Structure 1
Amino acid sequence: MSERPRVPRIRRSAPEGVAHPKEIKSFVRRAGRTTTGQAKAFDDLGPKFLLPYQAQAIDFAAAYADATRARGQNYLNTGPVILEIGFGMGEATAHIAALMPEKNFLCCEVHEPGVGALLKRIGEQGLHNIRILAHDAVEVIDQMLPLQSLDGVHIFFPDPWHKKKHNKRRLIQSALIAKLAARLKVGGYLHCATDWQPYAEQILEVLSAEPLLKNTATPADSDLAGYAPKPHYRPLTKFENRGIKLGHGVWDLVFERV
């Protein structure tokens, strides 16, 4: 029996010639256990859908070449690319990718059971437009994503770090947003969602302060106080539905690159 390929892991130190970004982290290590089904997905689908981290710009056409062939097309895949940071167990990611097969999704997540779960969903749903980088998203942004190379960014329900003394650990900070805004094409979008109101307020403040971004909320959305209506493509997860039934709110923020 062949040995199961090892899951790509976050580097403990920067590769040679690469500055390690100490001021921002896109993740916190969580304990978890990979199931048998997830392990099988790593074996069967990992070689195709997992991309290696490398300190050079990603070739999107090559990375997603199979996605076009799967749709019966022979030309290079130059479809829009959407970056997702922290997809959890991949439920929303798989839903959106199935809803928009013409778009390519580059998904960063370091939680191994989550990566395995998304690979399993890819196999079950026959998806071809997802590629996964099991690596810190900040290093991926810095080293693999050229300026103005993305058509969109999704950050759904990042860890809110509820305690005030931990707020500095939140993902959405001005330094990261500046990196993301610079890598969006003009007209591209950044979509964040959270179910923690104090975090929503911080995200709105940070995004509004970024000069390369503008809020897509319109005067017709004035009752949402700068927040956007939930875009049609973002599904309601089981967790979110449970929260809504308990009276919890959810805030979507959609900003556009100018």
Structure 2
Amino acid sequence: MNPSDVFNRLAIARLGEDENSSADSPRRIRSFVRREGRITRAQQRALEEWWGQFGVDADVAELVPNQLFGRNARLVLEIGFGDGETLVAMAAADPETDYLGVEVHLPGIGHLLLQAAKAELTNLRILRADAFDVLERRLPDRCLDRVQIFFPDPWPKVRHHKRRLIQFPLIALLVRKLKIGGQLHIATDCEDYADSILSLLNASPELTNQAAENGFAPRPAYRPLTKFELRGQRLGHSIRDLLFARCGESE
């Protein structure tokens, strides 16, 4: 395939927007908006040159981890990796673990590809997709050792809270995909969103809070400080980590 065709195909992808809706599958309010920022020439070039190495095409209907990575290893899924710097840093620091990233915005994907190629990573794959579609239709159950969602869009206006990603439908999907003992790690600097997430997760019988007194957890050493987080700290925002584990059936 011509490299420029790769960029064009990614740019026009519909990301599962309502084409699978039916009377039995009502339209779901998406947590993201297709508001692409300006993509740089370097990012576009990275998409054209490196997607073939790190990207997983939308026509791969079933994601089989040991086929994606060519080995059996721990698997971490990151939903909404932004500019990808945290995901690349984690993959580089933990080569024995495989990392799968999901993002919808092309500039962030292009930026990640630049960093991943520079780091010569072999344990990272990415998808341009709606995370719900990946979880519902493409990943097998109980295949994930950890799911991480760092600084999801808080949709701060009350009328937009329905767009927040972390709600019961997503939690139910994550419970299905996590291995017994697998971890769910979320970080946010939005206080009311953090409180909402904590209540939802503490109410899930399949998940166990790993923090003291069912509260927030200290930042684990494996999660790097992000530029977004450092900016939030300068503005006086408190960062809250939530760390939960998937229970066994009898727990």
Taking structure 2 as the reference length, the TM-score comes to 0.89
Q: Identity of paired residues, percent?
A: 44
Match of 1:47 in 2: 52
Match of 1:233 in 2: 222
Q: Aligned pair 1:195/2:200, yes or no?
A: no
Q: Among 230, 242, 245, which residue is 1:256 paired with?
A: 245
Match of 1:57 in 2: 62
Check 1:234–1:111 CA distance in 2 against 1; reply closer, same or farther (3 A cut): same
Check 1:54–1:151 CA distance in 2 against 1; reply closer, same or farther (3 A cut): farther
Match of 2:110 in 1: 116
The runs of 5 or more residues in structure 1 that have no matched partner are: 66-76
Task: Report the Cα distance in structure 1 between the residues aligned to 2:60 and 2:136, rounded to whole angstroms.
Answer: 9
Q: Aligned pair 1:37/2:45, yes or no?
A: no
The runs of 5 or more residues in structure 2 that have no matched partner are: none
* CA drift at 1:56: 3.8
Look up the equivalent residue of 1:207 and give its one-letter code: L
Match of 1:97 in 2: 91
Task: Report the Cα distance in structure 2 between the residues aligned to 1:78 and 1:16, rounded to whole angstroms.
Answer: 34
Q: Aligned pair 1:23/2:28, yes or no?
A: yes
Per-residue Cα deviation, 1:196-255 (whole angstroms, up to 9, x for no partner) = 00000001011111111010003xxx5xx7000001111111221122122210000000
Per-residue Cα deviation, 1:107-127 (whole angstroms, up to 9, x for no partner) = 110101011111111011111
Task: Report the Cα distance in structure 1 between the residues aligned to 2:232 and 2:18, rounded to whole angstroms.
Answer: 39
Q: Among 233, 242, 257, which residue is 2:231 paired with?
A: 242
Q: CA RMSD in A?
A: 2.0
Task: Report the Cα distance in structure 2 between the residues aligned to 1:148 and 1:182, rounded to whole angstroms.
Answer: 6
* CA drift at 1:3: 5.1
Deviates more, 1:104-113 or 1:238-247: 238-247
Look up the equivalent residue of 2:51 and give its one-letter code: G
